[in-house]
């Protein structure tokens, strides 16, 4: 077997399509320079959108409003269930409604800095500009954001920033924004502008003459595998955190759409950039199927602490104040409990590694609201966080109003994803990636309340402008022939893969492999990574993959609803993607944001970037399963926010 780690370095990425000129003018320039499609011609164009989360739902609705014929897919039984629905805390926007010094430039600055200088300035500035319009759009749709008694919108502050720019709808902001997009999409479905395929999962991309022209998808009820053709394909299929088995992602969130696109030629950028969220409910045992996040907004009023002494197993209430270590407030006095997620997560890991963790197995820290309840009163705490407290109580059978919550970090979001240019187009012409599926805006660490902002920015505003340019330059040709060799090949490959999964008839369940892979990834490619550990993982993954194809057991047939087959097929892709994540983590011998290499830290134990060597987006080109990919570097240029050692002290 050729060594997967002996990758070669190919041509650098140079053209990202971002216009030059002052950063604040670039988006305007690009919008003006983009070609337009005559309204009368739009209906002749079909655009496939995969996914109905914030990015996909808003893109499908907006493209349909513009007059395109949209064919949209989701594997859930309804577009309203995409996992954006679970986002709790809020959405950022540089409205400066609080008059607290916020501005587009400050949001831009915070996001570049929060991403530890591994994102593109042009993209981030555009995101900050659009953030303002998103709130207007959502309010117009009837999204019930929290309001003050004067009838105006309320804001709160969120991890990693010092202004109040986060708009929210109690702890269900994602749900409310998603329902807004879903309702806009529903309106277009009713109008006949969107052809919606629910319970239908994309299993491959169809590339004809170098352009994305359609997808292969399986009807999850009948098992029928079909091809769908279009003039452009938009992937809004979310992130790949479920590689880790345990994450805060929904059970069925998966990487198949982006991974299959990667195999067909779309480059994959920064796969090792994963976000470990600091405030999740700790696991209770081996039966754990997923982890539940508690909104980071809790850190606004909750105080995080562990006992000062190792192995102090007294109940929280019996530990006196002077024997508690409010370690975030101690180490980072300026930001305190509001430091960015990567820093808060690592600090929790450190105190637990020191033996000061609380709860079963010492894998937890306290998030204490006693002081907040005293200061604000229980009623106000309930008003702000009631549903989160209820959720915590439901899962743990503990009352967080009485005893402090226990939290521990968990995989939550993936900053990496398909490489896209400024137009959100991948390296396959006609294939676009939006939302968490792409890599573009968050660098090495995403700030809280920025995922919703990016998903909606991409879907409502960016893609609907930039896709015009592609469609105008690639006018609608004849419909694709179903007998075209590229179509037949993609269809046959998919059918063969599923048949093979059903035929192995081994002795291990899909979940057992997924769990094994996840534990390996958490151990070696999780919160802290080392060269030695990553090499171990890279040795182990091909072994698991080989065993998978020998021992997997999938009961039933392919011509029916078969949830085991769906799972197994997703694991096939995780087993390849995991390898790329480890390789990327191995090659990036610096620490930055969510990627912490133990070999690269400051004397204080903070992530030490190595800008002179690694100030680039690592973009990988697929070769073959288990064979070394090709690395293409996109150098990052910082003209406005000058890279400094991130400091939150």
Residue 126 interacting with other proteins (CB under 8 A): no
Residue 176 interacting with other proteins (CB under 8 A): yes
* SS3 call for 44: coil
For residue 101, give the H/E element and its range: none
Give the side-chain half-sphere CA count within 13 A for 540: 18
Residues with catalytic function: 341
- 209-248 positions binding other proteins, by CB under 8 A: 221
Residue 184 interacting with other proteins (CB under 8 A): yes
Q: Could you tell me which of 643, 636, 649 has the C-alpha nearest to residue 116?
A: 643
Q: Between helices 121-140 and 104-114, what is the axis angle to 10°?
A: 120
Residue 561 interacting with other proteins (CB under 8 A): yes
For residue 578, give the H/E element and its range: helix 563-587
CB of 274 to other proteins, least distance (A): 19
- 497-516 positions binding other proteins, by CB under 8 A: 507, 509-512
Select from 23, 250, 266, 586 the one that contacts other proteins (CB under 8 A): 250
* SS3 call for 121: helix
CA 609 to CA 615: how far, in whole Å?
9
- 370-399 positions binding other proteins, by CB under 8 A: 391, 394-395, 397
Instruction: Please say whether the beta carbons of 119 and 442 come within 8 A.
Output: yes
Residue 9 interacting with other proteins (CB under 8 A): no
Q: What phi and psi values does residue 31 have, to the nearest 5 degrees?
A: -65, -35
Instruction: Please say whether the beta carbons of 572 and 494 come within 8 A.
Output: no
Q: Which is nearer to other proteins, 69 or 81 (CB)?
A: 81
Select from 5, 10, 133, 329 the one that contacts other proteins (CB under 8 A): 133
Q: How many residues bind other proteins (CB under 8 A)?
A: 84
Residue 207 interacting with other proteins (CB under 8 A): no
What the block records as the tokens of 605 is 């134990």
Q: What phi and psi values does residue 368 have, to the nearest 5 degrees?
A: -110, 130
For residue 406, give the H/E element and its range: strand 405-414
Specify the residue for token string 């309702």.
183
- 64-83 positions binding other proteins, by CB under 8 A: 65, 76-81, 83
- 273-332 positions binding other proteins, by CB under 8 A: 284-285, 287-290, 292-293
Select from 37, 135, 205, 207 the one that contacts other proteins (CB under 8 A): 135
Strands (DSSP E) along 426-534, which ranges? 431-433
- 512-551 positions binding other proteins, by CB under 8 A: 512
Residue 564 interacting with other proteins (CB under 8 A): yes
- 416-475 positions binding other proteins, by CB under 8 A: 460-461, 464
Residue 569 interacting with other proteins (CB under 8 A): no
Instruction: Please say whether the beta carbons of 352 and 344 come within 8 A.
Output: no
Select from 182, 259, 422, 439 the one that contacts other proteins (CB under 8 A): 182
* SS3 call for 228: strand
Select from 37, 91, 127, 169 the one that contacts other proteins (CB under 8 A): 169
Q: Between helices 485-504 and 531-551, what is the axis angle to 10°?
A: 80
Q: Which is nearer to other proteins, 97 or 640 (CB)?
A: 97
CB of 292 to other proteins, least distance (A): 5
Select from 98, 187, 211, 610 the one that contacts other proteins (CB under 8 A): 187
Residue 358 interacting with other proteins (CB under 8 A): no
Q: What phi and psi values does residue 212 have, to the nearest 5 degrees?
A: -70, 125
Piece of the chain touching other proteins by CB under 8 A; list 180-188, 234-242, 257-265, 516-524: 180-188
- 82-111 positions binding other proteins, by CB under 8 A: 83, 85-86, 95, 97
Residue 145 interacting with other proteins (CB under 8 A): yes
């Amino acid at each position: 077997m050729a060594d997967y780690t002996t990758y070669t370095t190919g041509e650098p990425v140079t053209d990202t399509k971002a216009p030059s000129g002052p950063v604040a003018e670039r988006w305007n320039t690009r919008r003006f320079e983009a070609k337009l499609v005559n309204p009368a011609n739009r209906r002749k164009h079909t655009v496939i959108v995969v996914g109905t989360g914030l990015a996909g739902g808003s893109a499908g609705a907006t493209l349909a409003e513009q007059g395109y014929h949209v064919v949209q897919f989701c594997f859930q039984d309804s577009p309203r269930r995409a996992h954006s629905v679970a986002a709790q805390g809020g959405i950022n926007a540089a409205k400066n409604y609080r008059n607290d010094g916020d501005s587009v430039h400050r949001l831009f600055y915070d996001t570049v800095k929060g991403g530890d200088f591994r994102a593109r300035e042009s993209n981030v500035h555009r995101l900050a500009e659009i953030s303002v319009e998103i709130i207007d759009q959502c309010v117009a749709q009837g999204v019930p954001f929290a309001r003050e008694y004067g009838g105006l919108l309320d804001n709160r502050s969120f991890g990693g920033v010092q202004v109040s720019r986060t708009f929210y709808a109690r702890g269900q902001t994602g749900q409310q924004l998603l329902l807004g997009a879903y309702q806009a999409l529903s309106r277009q479905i009713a109008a006949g502008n969107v052809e919606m395929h629910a319970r239908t999962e994309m299993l491959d991309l169809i590339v004809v003459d170098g352009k994305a022209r359609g997808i292969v998808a399986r009807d999850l009820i009948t098992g029928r595998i079909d091809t769908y053709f279009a003039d452009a394909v938009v992937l809004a299929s979310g992130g790949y955190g479920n590689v880790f088995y345990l994450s805060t992602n929904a059970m069925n969130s998966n990487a198949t759409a982006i991974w299959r696109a990667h195999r067909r030629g779309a480059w994959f950028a920064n796969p090792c950039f994963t976000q470990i969220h600091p405030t999740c409910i700790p696991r209770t045992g081996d039966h754990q199927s997923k982890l539940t996040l508690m909104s980071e907004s809790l850190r606004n009023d909750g105080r995080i602490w562990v006992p000062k002494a190792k192995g102090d197993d007294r109940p929280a209430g019996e530990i006196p104040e002077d024997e508690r270590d409010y370690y975030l407030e101690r180490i980072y006095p300026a930001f305190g409990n509001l430091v960015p997620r990567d820093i808060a997560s690592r600090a929790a890991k450190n105190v637990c590694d020191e033996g000061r963790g609380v709860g079963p197995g010492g894998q937890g820290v306290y998030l204490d609201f006693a002081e907040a309840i005293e200061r604000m009163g229980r009623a106000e705490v309930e008003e702000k966080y009631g549903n989160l407290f209820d959720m915590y109580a439901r899962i743990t059978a503990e009352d967080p109003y009485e005893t402090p919550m226990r939290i521990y970090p968990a995989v939550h979001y993936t900053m990496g994803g398909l490489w896209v240019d400024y137009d959100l187009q991948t390296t396959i012409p006609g294939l676009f990636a939006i939302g968490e599926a792409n890599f573009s805006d968050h660098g090495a660490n995403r700030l809280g309340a920025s995922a919703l902002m990016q998903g909606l920015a991409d879907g409502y505003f960016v893609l609907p402008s930039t896709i015009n340019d592609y469609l105008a330059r690639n006018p609608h040709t004849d419909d694709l022939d179903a007998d075209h060799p590229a179509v037949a090949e993609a269809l046959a490959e998919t059918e063969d893969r599923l048949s093979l999964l059903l035929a192995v008839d081994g002795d291990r369940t899909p979940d057992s492999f997924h769990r094994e892979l996840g534990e390996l990834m958490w151990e070696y490619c999780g919160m802290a990574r080392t060269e030695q550990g990553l090499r171990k993982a890279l040795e182990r993954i091909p072994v698991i993959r080989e065993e998978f194809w020998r021992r997997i057991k999938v009961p039933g047939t392919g011509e029916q609803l078969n949830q085991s087959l769906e799972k197994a097929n997703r694991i096939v892709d995780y087993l390849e993607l995991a390898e790329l994540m480890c390789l990327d983590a191995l090659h990036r011998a610096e620490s930055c944001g969510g990627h912490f290499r133990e070999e690269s830290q400051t004397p204080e134990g903070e992530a030490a970037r190595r800008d002179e060597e690694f100030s680039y987006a690592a973009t990988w080109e697929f070769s073959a399963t288990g064979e070394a990919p090709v690395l293409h570097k996109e150098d990052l240029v910082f003209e406005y926010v000058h890279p400094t050692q991130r400091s939150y002290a």
